[in-house]
Amino acid sequence: MSDRRGFTLIEIVVVLVIIGMVMTLVIPRLPNSEREDLKISARTLASTLRYLQDRAATTGTTYYLHMEPGTDNVKVMQATPDGSEKEPDDPFLQQRPTKEGVQVADVVITRLGKLIEGQVRLDIGAGGLRDFVIIHLRSPAGTFWTVMGFPSSGKVKVYQGYQEDAL
């Protein structure tokens, strides 16, 4: 009698069906990297704004957050005594606050309205933000997160989606 070992065709098909069912359940639940990049960018931008307000209050230094709506250009600069700007000495502030590819869709400043193009500079001095600001971040897929900065309290909040008013 010969000793045959191996899998039957039915066993292989059953295993492939099980793997297929597991894949259809698991793959849709895996995080989308674009969505995660957008979420991380919104939270990092909010943290940067909070940190800038704290640094400005404790050191008396003015900081600027430069943004270009419609692009992914976001940069922090520090005011110098002669009125010009320089890159901050703080390594945290030298890092890009948003992930590459995450765009600033628009910036809403109460006294200026909605800014959708050009360059926007937020001034952050010893008193914190000068105006209430809403920053809308957009992923390449078109999803949004909103960052809101409140000048009176110094709070910065993050919301999923496109929010137009303070909640």
State pLDDT tens for residues 126-167.
888 988 999 999 999 899 999 999 987 889 999 999 998 765
User: pTM for the whole thing?
Assistant: 0.78
Instruction: For each of the domains in the chain, give its residue range(s) and CATH number, in order of start.
Output: 33-160 (3.55.40.10)
Residues facing residue 159 across a β-bridge: 146
Q: Percent of the chain having pLDDT more than 90?
A: 66
| Mean pLDDT of the chain, nearest integer | 90
Of 5-9, 99-103, 160-164, where does mean pLDDT reach its minimum? 5-9
Beta strands in the chain (DSSP E): 63-67, 74-79, 85-86, 103-109, 113-115, 120-125, 128-129, 133-138, 144-149, 156-160
Task: Retrieve residue 162's tokens.
Answer: 């496109």
Residue 149 carries which side chain, given as an amino acid letter?
A: G
Alpha-carbon torsion (142, 74, 155, 131), positive or negative = negative
Query: CA-to-CA distance for 143 and 155, rounded, in angstroms?
Result: 24
Predicted confidence at residue 166, as pLDDT, reads: 67
